[in-house]
A and B are shown apart, each in its own frame.
Chain A
Amino acid sequence: MADFDFAFLIEVLVGGLLSGVMYSLVAIGFVLIYKTSGVLNFAQGAQLLFAALTFVSLVERGLPFPLALLVTFVVMVLLGLAIERTVLRPLVNQPPITLFMATLGLSYVIEGVAQLLWGTQVHALELGIPDEPIDFHGVLISQFDLFAAGTAAVLVGLLSAFFRYTHVGLAFRAVADDTFAAITVGLRLPRIWATVWATAGVIALAAGLLWGARLGVQFSLSLVVLKALPVLVLGGFDSILGAIVGGLLIGACEKLAEVYLGPYVGGGIESWFAYVLALGFLLVKPGGLYGQKLVERA
């Protein structure tokens, strides 16, 4: 190990952490909905795909960038409201597993509609951010990853502030804490859920644009949810902080494992490593990193 390339290790680590931020971004959408309505929204990935596909198709049809963004924003909010009205409201008071399966069905619907509307071909998404690596003391860091991480950080900051300092945020927290008490003091649950789903749609838009610029806008974009699930398991479904730390941890470990462990087992371990990592962690510490609802675990 005399010729161990330390700079390369740092490079891999930083790359992993930055892609971890991208995982966190998706995971936060999950946490937001889980916290307030107890639903594990599997359709988050489909919403992400829908947002990216709509945006890209509008831009390709000649709409200017800001206008396309605005239209997609409105579409995502409307989609969130529609989901709440047609799927969530009739299923109020059903067990969480039923709600989860409904979002599974929902993800099929959204994926199908998105591709029926906009076609199935792969679109390139150019956000105007140069994807040249910066040389920082011999460590190459992708500029795009930095931008994505910055966006995610801003988004997380905004969300935290929103939860802490606004009336709506307070209502969100009240509903998350105790739904019945929240109803008793006069909070209108359907309206709050509608807001939450609309917000989750907007997060899906941000995540969809960043992931779409990274991977190309195509069907496989909706599989990003599968990257976010281990992050949630690790960080706890109800903790925004957990989503961030879990995302960073999984991003870093995954990249390190792929680079240093992968060659020994034939590579391609990215598809399952995060899951095994999260699983192993939970077996040792079933509470997860920041999970609060110990009821859900043995």
Chain B
Amino acid sequence: MSTLACKTLAHSAPQAAPLAANVPQARRNWRQYTGTALVLLAAYGLVPAFASPYWLDAILIPFLALALAGVGLNLLTGYAGQLSLGTAAFMAVGAFAAYNFNLRVSGLPLLGSFVLGGLSATVVGLAFGLPSLRLRGFYLAVSTLAAQFFVQWALTKFSWFTNNNASGVIDAPPLVVLGVSLDNPTGRYLLALTIVVLITALVARLVRTQTGHNFIAVRDNELAARVIGVSVLRTKLLAFAISSFIAGIAGVLWAFVYLRTVEPAGFNLDRSFQILFIIIIGGLATIRGAFFGAALIVVFPLLLSRLGALLFGSWFDSGVLDMSQRVVLGVLIISFLIVEPEGLAALWQRLLKKLSWRPHSVA
């Protein structure tokens, strides 16, 4: 829109072009901030007031955790161009590290163990990000699978991680932040929301800084990035570090705030794929894409089960539901890749443009 306006104006009055081009830019920024403010207002004001406990516990909290994981992966895959199939492993490291810090370090505040969990995920992410310095594309993707299998094996094999619990499934500690117990749906929701909002804001800022541009430069053309003075090595490792930190925190939210139990089985390969699907469906290299994608991934199984029960009655049991979910999800992925490779975020953008009441006379 703005480039189009700029071009048209540049033809008629070249000297006026920079000024005129700035106006839509400023207006767009303003609109964007209003949009964000409205969403935040709704998330903090309306949702806790009106949402039922079921909505909070079964839909919104997992949505927030998955969206955060999506934001993390999007930084690595969407912005820095390094395909990872091991997101769930970093989530698992975050969750289990936070659990163990909380268990073994007395007096550590809950949020402190969350951060330490995220940092542990960073360390593991860096270790498995090292191959990215020598491998690219599929070779890298396959090597991130090593993280997935190794971490899951280590967490199941060494019972120290699960505090020698026989079943390997452990209860998360009570959620107490600054002396306030958050062990109710609204409290859990607000805790998750605040963490997600904080990290998302930081990421949204990050991708507009030089570091964020470095990510994109490395993704688009490694050689060119090196030529203009971007340290490819540092950039890739940084992308892995930040991305796995965020994935680790998302894992903490998933285990501590959503499931209320910590178990390795929840962080399997299917989870990694799920996060990847979230960013494909939502839109690669967009922040809001992760939220769109996560919303779809969380809501659509519920819709499908309602719809299936309505159409097919008792034949539509949980097994059939599970399989039809796979089919529909797969079809969705393929359709998005073919029809709208830029995902729901691009669809949203187009919708906004269509709904916009601004006169288009400038262009």
Whether the pair A113, B143 counts as a contact (CB closer than 8 A) is: no
Whether the pair A233, B139 counts as a contact (CB closer than 8 A) is: yes
- Chain A stretch 230-252: residues in CB contact (< 8 A) with chain B: 230, 232-233, 237
Task: Bin chain A's interface residue count.
Answer: 35 or more
Of B30-38, B47-55, B61-69, B127-135, the one touching chain A: B127-135
B348 at the interface (CB under 8 A from A): no
Residue in chain B with minimal CB distance to A295? B136
B300 at the interface (CB under 8 A from A): no
Point out the residues of chain B lying under 8 angstroms from A120, CB to CB: 319, 323
Mark interface residues in A62-102 (1 if CB within 8 Å of B CB, else 0): 00000000000000000000000011001100101110111
Whether the pair A279, B333 counts as a contact (CB closer than 8 A) is: no
Interface of A (DSSP majority class): helix
Mark interface residues in A183-202 (1 if CB within 8 Å of B CB, else 0): 00000000000000000000
CA of A107 to CA of B330 in the docked complex: distance in angstroms? Answer: 7
- Chain B stretch 309-328: residues in CB contact (< 8 A) with chain A: 319-320, 323-327
A169 at the interface (CB under 8 A from B): no
Point out the residues of chain A lying under 8 angstroms from B156, CB to CB: 268
Whether the pair A101, B280 counts as a contact (CB closer than 8 A) is: yes
Point out the residues of chain A lying under 8 angstroms from B319, CB to CB: 120
CA of A108 to CA of B274 in the docked complex: distance in angstroms? Answer: 11
B332 at the interface (CB under 8 A from A): yes
Question: Whole-angstrom distance from the CB of A59 to the nearest CB of chain B?
Answer: 22
Point out the residues of chain A lying under 8 angstroms from B327, CB to CB: 108-109, 112-113, 116
Given A272-B149, A279-B146; A90-B338 close (CB under 8 Å): yes
Interface of B (DSSP majority class): helix
CA of A91 to CA of B338 in the docked complex: distance in angstroms? Answer: 6
Point out the residues of chain A lying under 8 angstroms from B329, CB to CB: 105, 108
A1 at the interface (CB under 8 A from B): no
Point out the residues of chain A lying under 8 angstroms from B145, CB to CB: 226, 229, 275
Point out the residues of chain B lying under 8 angstroms from A268, CB to CB: 153, 156-157
Q: How many residues of B contact A (CB 8 A)?
A: 43
Whether the pair A104, B152 counts as a contact (CB closer than 8 A) is: no
State the total of A-B contacts with C-beta under 8 angstroms. Answer: 130
Point out the residues of chain B lying under 8 angstroms from A282, CB to CB: 131, 134-135, 139, 143
CA of A232 to CA of B326 in the docked complex: distance in angstroms? Answer: 26
B150 at the interface (CB under 8 A from A): yes
Contact for A96 among B138, B143, B152, CB less than 8 A:
B138
Question: Whole-angstrom distance from the CB of B270 to the nearest CB of chain A?
Answer: 10
Whether the pair B142, A275 counts as a contact (CB closer than 8 A) is: yes
Interface centre among A101, A107, A226 (most CB of B within 10 A): A101
Point out the residues of chain A lying under 8 angstroms from B158, CB to CB: 266
Whether the pair A271, B152 counts as a contact (CB closer than 8 A) is: yes
- Chain B stretch 325-363: residues in CB contact (< 8 A) with chain A: 325-327, 329-334, 337-338, 341
Contact for A94 among B137, B141, B341, CB less than 8 A:
B341
CA of A279 to CA of B139 in the docked complex: distance in angstroms? Answer: 9
Point out the residues of chain A lying under 8 angstroms from B338, CB to CB: 87, 90-91, 102
12 contacts between A and B (CB under 8 A): A101-B337, A105-B333, A109-B326, A110-B330, A229-B142, A230-B142, A233-B139, A267-B157, A278-B142, A278-B146, A283-B130, A298-B135
On A, residues with C-beta under 8 Å from B are 40, 86-87, 90-91, 94, 96-98, 100-102, 104-113, 115-116, 120, 226, 229-230, 232-233, 237, 265-269, 271-272, 275-276, 278-279, 282-283, 286, 296-298
**New A-B contacts (8) at CB < 8 Å, excluding given A105-B331, A275-B143, A275-B150:** A87-B334, A87-B338, A96-B137, A112-B327, A268-B156, A269-B153, A272-B149, A276-B150
